[in-house]
Structure 1
Amino acid sequence: MTTTTTRPRASVPPAAGASKHANRRRAQAWRMGAITVIWATSLFVVALWVSGGGVAAVLGLNGETVTTLGRLTGLVAANLLLYQVLLMARVPLFERGFGRDGITRMHRFVGFWSFWLMGAHIALLALGYAITAGVNPVVELWGFIWDYPGMLLATAGTLLILLVVITSIRRARRRLRYESWHLLHLYAYLGVGLALPHQLWTGADFLSSPLATLYWWSIWALAAASVLVFRIGMPVLRSTRHSLRVASVEPDGARGVTVRVAGRDLASLGARAGQFFVWRFLDGPGWTRGHPFSLSAAPGRELTLTARVVGDGTRRLAGLVPGTRVIVEGPYGEMTGERRTGKKLLMIGAGAGVAPLLSLLEAEEYAPGDALLLTRDSVAEDALRQSAIAELVSRRGVRYLPFVGPRSSGPSGWIAASHSAWAGPDLLRHLVPDPAVYDVFICGTAAWMKDLTRDLESAGFAPHRIHSESFTI
């Protein structure tokens, strides 16, 4: 049932239009800088291969042809592994340039391609050398492993990277607890570290000139420093400086928890409604495993997160005690009010996905009745942040419509079975007859958001006004 109010009042004023325009300009500048760095390093890699006689070797159509293709795939794989490290390091240039959603897609794409190219590099070099020497490729490969400096380390590193790749396949990923997958994923750092020395000790394209050697050593040293600075150093220093501690822990719904974190001068963290942090609570063993949770209230004197208790990481939240020290990475994410171009708001969230939507509704400007919140839960008792929603309804004039019950078995799986008689686009047009003036913010599982986005576009919502972020790798 839709709930309205007759006495709404204004909330926190939003950033001015000029400020939002300036923020978009800065975002474009960051994106251009990130793209420039990627192209510059990629072109340098190609230049190394060309300067090493790669083009002429390809035209020879002999064993050297296969060998030079192995060199090329090795160079590209090394470059992609570099990007993998930088993407995992949360370097501000890439975080601000591509956003968390873009980095998540790039991380998966680059990870798989770097692995396949690494395999091609090994196979092509073994085959090329075997053709030239007139020996069995397996014998040649065995000789590589045992006779070349750093190759035993590289073999161990390749096996570790293989482990990470296998556990990152979606079917395998779904069978693992988040904590187990996260621990296994960290072995990618060790795998890259073990694979690196043989490239810098014996790789012809890495040692072809003093400039090439300087470039590769410098760029990998920079990548390692980025991990230490942005993944470890800065989060610890910032969290200590702001003295972040748990202020309160409250049950939320039948299976949820809301945690409030207080500290000094939180405004200087620069967090915006709709963003998320990676949180670590120093409450005992296992605190090193970070978990991403969105802000469930507009940031102010406290930072608020809300989660549904579904695993070890979220179960620990319910057992936190006030005063527990907190370390955060972030803020991250681009699903903020700066994306708005329309007058009205449609917010659609599934389960804990309601959290960032509520923070946006608290922070953004809209007239009474111009914001509609749709939530999706399997049972009513699981609904999160009901008191905050009631406050938005009574004070801001937000219209609220919960969809409760099992999911529809029809093509629009984002809606409840109780509304399965409706086609998804028709239901959206019924609820929002003027889609051209709406910005839509959605948050839920990747598959759920994919179905919903398809129906939103079919219902007439402009694709550039449908905003979401996915944190699934």
Structure 2
Amino acid sequence: MTITATPPGRSSTTRDTRRPSHLPAGTGLRAPGPGASKRQRRRADALQALVWLTAITGIAFMIQSGAFLNSGMWGWLAMISRALGIVAAVMMLAQLLLASRAPWIDRAIGHDKAIMLHTEYGVTSVVVMLLHIATVTVADSHVAGTNPASQLIAYWSYGWFLAWALVSLAATLVVLVTSFASARARIPYHKWHAIHLLSYISIALAVPHQFLQGETFRQMGVAWWFWFVLWAGSGAAFLYWRVVKPIAVNRRHHLSVSSVRRETDGSVTITLGGRGVRRIGVRSGQFLNVAFGRWAFMKEMHPYSLSAAPGDTLRITVKPLGDASSALARLKPGTAAWIEGPLGIFTHESRTGRDLLLVGAGIGVTPLRALLEDAPAWGAISVVVRGRSRAEVPLIDEIQHLASARGARYAELLGRRGTTWGTTERPVSLVGTVARPKDTDLYICGPVEWGLQVEADARAAGIPDHAIHREEFAW
């Protein structure tokens, strides 16, 4: 395969390196350099290191408060249980921050990686919390001269804050059990999501006992303020970006459906309008969580990528795959829309090279169409579209027209899936076909397994890891 191919009967065009007339001069984008991606990787590493540094600092405060004064095996067990509780608390803090959708987290590691880490820290916090409860119960039962089961029940009478902590444990276990793949496959997403919200309630219920029961907090010293700032800051970030900000954005812009268009492939293109839409700050390649209809803010949100460069309107294109997406074809102009976001770093700001290669399959071509529309004219642009047939690829005529207008190299890979990420009739590889692999940014969007094949091929072709952009959209 060469990425200069065009369909029969269609002419290719010469690359015009001038800034296209539709791209405003004041975009704020500059020609990229390798430092941008390196900074992102450093921030991502620093964020994870900070989590463990916080846990170590918390344990240090515990030791400073006299944890080593208890001697013997049971004293050591009590100290270990407190250390485990501190680690669990830090994991909960990390969960809150990573799920807050704060822009600085999105810029540092991307929304998909934030959700992945949120899940990892969630599992870790549950495991560590169970170990904390088991060890502290065994240690306390020895001191009280009773068995662990009786001791666990006795905690209900120790104060409201410990009762809340036990309720927190029960809620956490419900979330954990329903998060297993076997259970999640049987639960509709909207019900699973409602159950998952219990994790935030469980965090809130667990906090009081840390301040009212822990020996480190007997006096309002440095340790008390350390934890207070952490919890207050994380909670405030979560409430602001997940609750206050969306309410403010939607009240300010009053988004609603401007038009609904059914595409030839069966997908549906929906255009949203409102007041001062440009000020929302959405960029091509990003996605929004959207709900439609009356009381939309109370409904299940779904992530949709922009299928056109944002301006005075926002446009999404959706393939009807389930009940929610199929219902979008029945939307009427004027229907209210509620959004959260924008989210994701699948944007031109992540670029590190001069050349641009866009590779998309199926509905995954929609964010690439938006990226193509306002791609800065730094270097050569190439576009590869994959599908079983032209009739099954959404917006394919728009993409080809934009590629021609931008002077981009354009290729279509149409047919049955083969052993490569191409087709059975046309096996493909980027090896030897990318002119300047070290200076090329690759954006991939499509089915997960297919995208991984493209990513592996890109590495073999010499495109650096930091220049390969593949974002899996997650709630």
Does TM, normalized by the shorter one, top 0.5? yes
Give the Cα–Cα distance (whole angstroms) in 1 for the partners of residues 137 and 112 of structure 2.
38
Secondary structure, aligned partner of 1:365: coil
The amino acid across from 1:428 in the alignment is L
**Which stretch shows the higher mean deviation, 283-292 or 227-236?**
283-292
2:358 to 336, 344, 347: 347
Deviation at 1:208, TM superposition (A): 5.2
Matched with 1:104 is 115
Q: Which moved more, 1:314-323 or 1:207-216?
A: 207-216
For structure 1, the 5+ residue unaligned runs are none
- 1:52 maps to 65
What amino acid is the match of 2:243? I
Q: Structure 1-normalised TM-score?
A: 0.85
CA spacing shift, 1:31–1:429, aligned 2, 3 Å:
closer
Secondary structure, in 3 states, of the residue corresponding to 1:376? strand
**Residue identity matched to 1:382:** E
**How far apart in 1 are the matches of 2:390 and 2:74?**
68
Deviation at 1:74, TM superposition (A): 0.6
Aligned to 1:205: 216
CA distance in 2, matches of 1:335, 1:120: 39
What is the SS of the residue equivalent to 2:385? strand
- Residues 54-453 of structure 1 mapped to structure 2, 5 A cutoff: 54=67, 60-170=71-181, 172-207=183-218, 209-283=220-294, 287-366=298-377, 370-378=380-388, 380-408=390-418, 410=419, 412=420, 414-419=421-426, 422=427, 427-429=429-431, 431-432=433-434, 434-453=436-455
- Is residue 206–residue 216 contact of structure 1 (8 Å, CA) maintained in 2? no
Q: By how many angstroms is 1:247 displaced? A: 0.9
Relative to structure 1, the CA distance from residue 20 to residue 294 in structure 2 (aligned partners, 3 Å threshold; closer, same or farther) is same
| Aligned-pair CA distance for 1:169 | 3.6
Residue 459 of structure 2 is matched in structure 1 by 457
Deviates more, 1:314-323 or 1:14-23: 14-23
Instruction: Quote how far apart the aligned CAs of 1:131 are.
Output: 3.7
For the residues of structure 1 that align with 2:429 and 2:177, how far apart are their CA atoms? 40
The 1:74–1:460 alpha-carbon spacing in structure 2 relative to 1, beyond 3 Å, is same
TM-score by length of 2: 0.85
Note closer, same or farther for the CA distance 1:232–1:248 as it changes in structure 2 (3 Å cut): same
Counterpart-to-counterpart distance in 2, 1:93 and 1:215: 22
Tell me the residue number matched to 2:473. 471
Letter in 2 for 1:386: I
2:372–2:403 contact (8 Å) kept in structure 1: no
State the secondary structure of the residue aligned to 1:273: coil
The CA deviation at 1:290 is 1.7
Percentage identity across aligned positions?
A: 32
- Cα deviation 1:70-124 (Å, max 9, x = unaligned): 1011111112112212222222332333321331222122111111111111111
The verdict on how the C-alpha distance between 1:178 and 1:302 changes in structure 2, with shifts beyond 3 A counting, is same
| CA shift for structure 1 position 125 | 0.6
How big is each residue's C-alpha offset from its partner over 1:27-60, in whole Å with a ceiling of 9 and x where there is no partner?
A: 7698799679757744541232221334565xx4
Residue 163 of structure 1: CA displacement? 2.5
Return closer, same or farther for 1:416/1:52 CA change in 2, 3 Å cut-off. Answer: farther
Quick check: 2:35–2:352 contact (8 Å CA) kept in 1?
Answer: no
Whether the 8 Å CA contact 2:33–2:352 is kept in 1: the answer is: no
* Counterparts of 2:474 and 2:103, CA distance in 1: 20
- Partner residue in 2 for 1:12: 22
Specify the SS of the correspondent of 1:296.
Answer: coil
- Looking at structure 2, the residues matched to 405 and 181 of structure 1 have their Cα atoms a distance apart, in angstroms, of 37
Going from structure 1 to structure 2, the CA distance change for 1:393 and 1:310 (only over 3 Å counts) comes to same
Partners of 1:109 and 1:135 lie apart in 2 by 36
CA, structure 1 residues 41+311, in 2 after alignment: closer, same or farther (shift >3 Å)? Answer: same
Say which is worse superposed, 209-218 or 116-125, in terms of deviation.
Answer: 209-218
With over 3 angstroms needed to count, the CA separation of the structure-2 counterparts of 1:55 and 1:309, relative to structure 1, is farther
Aligned AA (2:440): Y
